[in-house]
Structure 1
Amino acid sequence: MKYVEMSKQVLEHVGGVDNLNYVEHCATRLRLHYNNEKLINEEALKGIENTLGVIKKAGQVQIIIGPNVNEAYNDFLEVSGWKEGQNNEAGSAKEAEEPQKMSFMNYLNKFGNFMAAVFMPIVPALIAGGIILAVKNLLINYFGLDMESGTAVIIDAIFNAAFTFLPVYLGFTMARRLKMEPILGAVLGALLVSSNISGQEGLSFLGIGIPAVDYSTSVLPVMLGVGLMYFVDKFFKKVIPEIVIYFLKPLLTMIIVVPITLIVLGPIGTLLSDYVGSGITTLMSTIGGLAMPVFAVAYPYMVMFGLDKAIMPIGFNSVATIGYDPAIMVMGFISNLCIGGSALAAATSIKNDKAKKGMIVSSGVTALCGVTEPAFYGALITRPKILIGTAIGAASAGLVAGIFGLKSYIMGGTPGLFTAMFFIDNQGGLGNLFLAAIVGIVGVVVSYISCRIIISRTKSTEKAE
């Protein structure tokens, strides 16, 4: 339990477990939702060992851990005694909090935090399923693997388990985030992808026709359904007597939610998904050469403010509807590699402090692999001029990616060198992967050279003064 002492200190400086109303984590951050901001000691949190930084916003403290965040999360649960589904929102700490004026950024942050809680838990399954499909295609196309062999069948089964049942996973995580029984969200998702419902013609409920929709790998339909379930569940909690609520509430909730989802929300969600997918395809095919450089330059700051989580559903929806993501994962891939290149430039400019140099080199390599917080917060944000070089590299690589139409065929994870196989197309073709390699080289090299030039000129100016 490496993070036990860290967990004790974090718990102390966030006002104890009674000041928490939700605990979760994303790919690199432990996210603690609090009741009373006055009980948060942000300065003390910043000095805790085994943490890389602290961000406080929108009723939440984010402790930056890095790739081992799941271990830190489990240790924190053990130390704090927090249980999943626990709700302290009505505690005394809540009553002491003064109401805050909500701005647009507050709402945007809350939306991003919500999406992180819904999508991040399912990312490992998607990474495993997507990469193993890429491996299968490579084996079939270049190493003679028989498409009908047991190996190919099992690999396909792993892929389908990860992607076909996406509505089940989303239903579970979204219901859990909304503090309902998670299994009911999973049941709704399972119903949508069941062979009796998904894509079936001629269905009706009480004489009302149900549109035939293929819900496998879909995103919006189950999210709309669980959103409706939240309000229905909330209503029944108030009106059903406690003695029968355990049996009656789930039954009545599903009787109401399922027909409305199948008749109205599911088809609407599918239609919206198609429009979003078509819109992104049109955007990237027409002005991708202009849009992608801007996206890539802005991405590190979107991560800083948590806005990258708010746009994750766009990427998931693109993969589900058009088969690939031409924007979200691509801009993340470019940005992360450029941050890595910039950190390495900063490290190689250090001559007399070997320990500091080694630390920044390590953070740069980690950024190249997809986890940028150590490099961004530890090496770059304190040297704002270097970030100009990062932006130059990101714009250059983004221009290449936008003009030639780089695509990611898998959505999820922290894009970097370790997720390069995301760029192998669904038939195993390597052309897009070679384009990703060129884009990555441009980003790293241009960022590195630009940052070294900026560092050199900065030092020359300081000597002259």
Structure 2
Amino acid sequence: MKYEKMSQSILAAVGGVENITSVTHCATRLRIDVKKLDAVDLDAVKKAQYALGAVVNGGQLQVIIGPNVTEAYNDFLEVAGIDFGAGVVADDEGTIADMAASMKNNGAVGLVERLGNITAQIFMPIVPALIVGGLILAIKNLLVNYCGFSTDSGTAQVLLAIFDAAFTFLPVWIGYQLASILKMQPIMGALLGAIIVSPSISGVEGLDFLGMPIPAIGYGGTVVPIVLGVVFMSAVDRVLQKIIPDVVKLFIKPLLTMFIVVPVTLLALGPVGSMMGYALSDAVTWLMQHVAVIATPIFAAINPYLVMLGLDKAFIAIEVNSLAQLGYAPIIFGFISNLCIGATCLALASTIKGDAARKGMVTSFGITALCGVTEPGFYGALVERPRLLLGTAIGALSGGLIAGIFGLVEYVAGACPGLLSALIFIAPDGGMGNFFLACVVAAVSITVSFIATRVIIAKFEK
């Protein structure tokens, strides 16, 4: 219970458990949805022990904790008396209306922020599986290509099975998470995901339902089809909840739900979702193939602000679709941005004199950012000194320019991109050219950001 005191402070600052509708977390933030945002004392939250900062995005309170956020999340649930699991506290009809009102009041920005929050809640619990699957594949390829292991060996087959389990069954994980967020029984979303990836359906030719032909689409590793299916399931679930008598609801409602949702998903929503996913990947691919020299450095420079708004999680879906369609993902600006923030923090730490505690803290922020987690450094050291972020941007533009010119890509989705996850750049065939390019981009990004930040400090912060 290291975070017990912090949890007590935050719980009081948000107006108690009666003002909370759900609690989740991502890689670094404790995410709290509340009924009444005006009841939240944001300043008190920021002053809580171990809290590195707090922001409100799309009506959601986000407390920046850092890499130990899972421990803080568990302690908060314990202190608040909330059941472990999905973290859903309230199942009131007003929640969706409150979300809609929040988006309406904040216009397009509110809608984008809310979508970013929902995307984070869907994908962040799944990310560890994606990272493990991708890195295991990289290790398997290294063993086969450079260590003499046969592709038919038991070791290679087991490692490949881990990768397949992480990505082929992605619709199952997404279905479970999204159903939970939409306040349905999570297992129903997982069941729909399992149905569409079933070898009896996924990619099978000649299927029909009541004489209506089912398009032969492979759903393994896809994102959009299961999202559309679960959203439709939520609408069906709410209608059936109102019209089915309680005495038979336990078994009749799930039966009717699946009887309605599965055919609609296979006949319409799945094919449409697949086309949408491919169109999205095609658009990103076109962008990176034709204007990567411009797009990559710009996205790398603004990525810290996408993270601040919670919009960076939306790119995970694009990464997954690109990997499923192309075998690689060209979205590498998060890697460049994280390294630049780390270098800027280290440059700042190198100039701190006479305050060993502060110097050590900022140094740890820099190292953490180099490893892929930037919120501690961004909120704990750089936001209060925005001029230093110019040094971050200069490094990001430099590294992004090289990455754009030579076409740097990644082969694993969802990883916290940093030095510790460098295996994401090793090609599936074991080729190391892309990995060496990533090393060059990393070296340029870190060096330029460090030097630029030192120059800015020397010139403007004497």
TM range (shorter): over 0.9
1:316, CA displacement in angstroms?
1.8
What SS does structure 1 have at the residue aligned with 2:105? coil
Stretch moving more, 256-265 or 144-153:
144-153
- Give the corresponding residue for 1:373: 375
The CA deviation string for residues 226-274 of structure 1, in whole angstroms up to 9 with x for no partner, is 1110111111111111221111111101000000110111111112222
Stretch moving more, 76-85 or 404-413:
76-85
1:90, CA displacement in angstroms?
5.9
- Give the corresponding residue for 1:120: 124
CA contact (8 A) 2:21 2:88 kept: no
- 2:140 pairs with 1:111: no
Letter in 2 for 1:253: T
Q: Out of 130, 136, 139, which is 1:132 matched to?
A: 136
- Give the corresponding residue for 1:86: 89
Matches for 1:249-288 after TM superposition, within 5 Å: 249-288=253-292
CA contact (8 A) 1:136 1:152 kept: yes
- Give the corresponding residue for 2:293: 289
- Give the corresponding residue for 1:435: 437
Q: Out of 155, 161, 175, which is 1:157 matched to?
A: 161
1:242–1:85: structure 2 CA closer, same or farther, 3 Å change rule?
A: farther
- Give the corresponding residue for 1:212: 216
Q: Distance in 1 between matches of 2:91 and 2:146?
A: 56
1:88, CA displacement in angstroms?
5.3
What SS does structure 1 have at the residue aligned with 2:302? helix
Q: Distance in 2 between matches of 1:165 and 1:189?
A: 8
Letter in 1 for 2:376: P
Matches for 1:45-444 after TM superposition, within 5 Å: 45-83=45-83, 84-87=87-90, 89=92, 101-327=105-331, 330-444=332-446
What SS does structure 1 have at the residue aligned with 2:141? helix
Q: Distance in 2 between matches of 1:26 and 1:55?
A: 14
1:397–1:127: structure 2 CA closer, same or farther, 3 Å change rule?
A: same
The CA deviation string for residues 198-238 of structure 1, in whole angstroms up to 9 with x for no partner, is 11111000110101111111111111111110111111111
- Give the corresponding residue for 2:12: 12
1:85, CA displacement in angstroms?
3.6
Stretch moving more, 342-351 or 330-339:
342-351
CA RMSD of aligned residues (A): 1.6
What SS does structure 1 have at the residue aligned with 2:431? coil
The CA deviation string for residues 110-157 of structure 1, in whole angstroms up to 9 with x for no partner, is 110001011111000111111111011111111111211111111011
For structure 2, which runs of at least 5 residues remain unmatched after alignment?
A: none
1:102–1:89: structure 2 CA closer, same or farther, 3 Å change rule?
A: farther
CA contact (8 A) 2:57 2:310 kept: no
CA contact (8 A) 1:35 1:59 kept: no
Calculate the TM-score normalised by the size of structure 1.
0.95
- Percent identity for Structure 1 against Structure 2: 52
CA contact (8 A) 2:6 2:48 kept: yes
Letter in 1 for 2:318: I
Letter in 2 for 1:288: A
